[in-house]
Structures are given as structure tokens and as C-alpha cells.
């Protein structure tokens, strides 16, 4: 498999991570190097790791995963998006926001954005592709696009001065990404 093909696959897989990072950047009142590192590291690690897990599972269980992967991704994204919207609606009462680059929220986001990488890993197993180099490229591209996304989102969120409305929009973006995953799998 050529480097350009691997790179295109990596970019395609990282689009969801980039969009989620945009929403996280919008939600944060301040974005520092720790926020960027935590989110980029976990998103890159999960993208690479899920790719390796999918490859290890191989073709024999693909039919089991394909039946529910889109529903799982949707549920996770809708859950986090809904929490962002609720936090934004509560923002009028309190100014403290949940940090999407920490704890359970970050792990849920990393998992939700990397489920497609599991399927790609399965296809790499079918194609008998050695997984290590593609997984490394996929992880690095996801980390870089995540870092870019969190800063662009923060810039957009702060420059718009719309406060909670922008955070609500970020939550809606996550839910729309989840709905788009369902749509791409023919659910509606």
C-alpha cells in the first residue's frame, strides 16, 4: 500500500476527530498546550490503537462489528454533544464549563471518533497489509488534525463572542456527525 493511500485513509479517518476538536475548542474558555496535548494524544492513540485492534480481530468478526459500529459511534457522539448543550444552557447560571480534554468525556470522544479506524483495521487484515506503519501514520495525522481543530475552534468560539450559543452549536455538530454516520450506513 502506497504512502499516499495510507495518508488519504488517515485524513479520512481524522475528519471526525478534527470536527470534535473544533467543538472542544469552542467549549473551552482557554486552550493551553495541556489541553491540546491531552486531546491530540488521546485521539491519535485511539485512532492508531483501534486500527491495530481491528487488524488483530481480522475478517472473521467483521460482520459482527459492522452491524453495530455506526450505532455505537452515534450514541457516544450524541451523549457528549447533548452534555455540551446542557452545559451551555446551564452557563447562564454558572460560568464553569466541563473540560472536554479531561476524564471520561475525553475517553468517550476518543472512542467515538476512532470506531471507523477499527473497521479500517479489519480491512487491512483482509488485504494482508502490515499494520504498524499505517497505524503510526493514522495516529500522527489524527493527532495533528486534532491539535489544529482545537485551536481553530477556540479561535472561532472566542472571536464570535456568542458564548453559550457557540457551545450549543458545537454540541449540535457532534450530534450531526453521529447522524451523518448513521446516514452513511444506510439507516435513513
Predicted confidence pLDDT, tens digits, the chain (188 residues) = 789 889 998 998 888 889 889 888 887 888 899 999 999 999 999 999 999 998 998 766 666 766 777 787 788 778 877 877 887 777 555 445 567 888 888 898 899 888 888 878 887 887 788 999 999 999 999 999 999 999 998 887 766 555 567 667 777 877 887 788 788 888 88
Residue 93: predicted pLDDT: 53
Query: What is the pTM for the complete model shown?
Result: 0.73
Residue 95: predicted pLDDT: 46
Residues whose CB falls within 8 Å of the CB of residue 36, separated by 6 or more in sequence, listed in order: 147, 150, 151
Residue 45: predicted pLDDT: 97
C-alpha cell at 50: 483501534
Residue 166: predicted pLDDT: 65
Residue 145's CB: how many other CB atoms inside 10 A?
Answer: 24
- E strands present in 68-155: none
Handedness of CA 21, 25, 28, 30 (dihedral sign): positive
Q: Among residues 78, 55, 54, 75, which one has the least CA distance to residue 65?
A: 54
Q: List C-alpha distances in Å: 28 to 64, 140, 151.
A: 37, 23, 10
Q: Among residues 131, 116, 144, which one has the least CA distance to residue 43?
A: 144
Give, as one character, the DSSP assignment of residue 60.
G
User: Which segments of the chain does DSSP mark as H helices, in order?
Assistant: 3-27, 33-57, 62-66, 69-90, 103-126, 132-160, 164-184
Cβ 63 vs Cβ 131: under 8 Å? no
Cβ 122 vs Cβ 65: under 8 Å? yes
Cβ 42 vs Cβ 103: under 8 Å? no
Q: Round to whole Å and give the CA distance between 49 and 62.
A: 17
Amino acid at each position: 500500500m502506497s504512502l499516499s493511500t495510507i495518508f488519504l485513509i488517515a485524513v479520512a479517518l481524522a475528519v471526525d476527530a478534527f470536527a470534535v476538536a473544533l467543538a472542544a475548542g469552542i467549549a473551552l474558555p482557554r486552550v493551553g498546550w495541556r489541553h491540546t496535548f491531552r486531546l491530540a494524544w488521546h485521539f491519535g492513540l485511539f485512532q492508531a490503537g483501534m486500527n491495530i485492534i481491528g487488524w488483530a480481530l481480522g475478517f472473521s468478526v467483521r460482520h459482527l462489528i459492522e452491524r453495530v459500529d455506526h450505532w455505537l459511534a452515534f450514541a457516544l457522539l450524541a451523549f457528549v454533544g447533548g452534555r455540551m448543550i446542557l452545559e451551555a444552557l446551564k452557563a447562564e447560571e454558572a460560568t464553569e464549563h466541563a473540560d472536554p480534554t479531561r476524564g471520561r468525556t475525553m475517553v468517550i470522544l476518543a472512542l467515538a471518533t476512532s470506531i471507523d479506524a477499527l473497521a479500517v483495521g479489519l480491512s487491512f487484515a483482509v488485504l494482508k497489509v502490515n499494520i504498524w506503519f499505517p497505524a503510526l501514520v493514522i495516529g500522527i495525522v489524527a493527532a495533528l488534525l486534532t491539535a489544529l481543530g482545537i485551536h481553530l475552534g477556540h479561535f472561532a468560539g472566542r472571536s464570535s463572542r456568542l458564548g453559550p450559543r457557540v457551545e450549543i452549536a458545537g454540541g449540535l455538530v457532534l450530534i450531526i456527525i453521529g447522524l451523518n454516520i448513521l446516514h452513511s450506513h444506510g439507516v435513513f
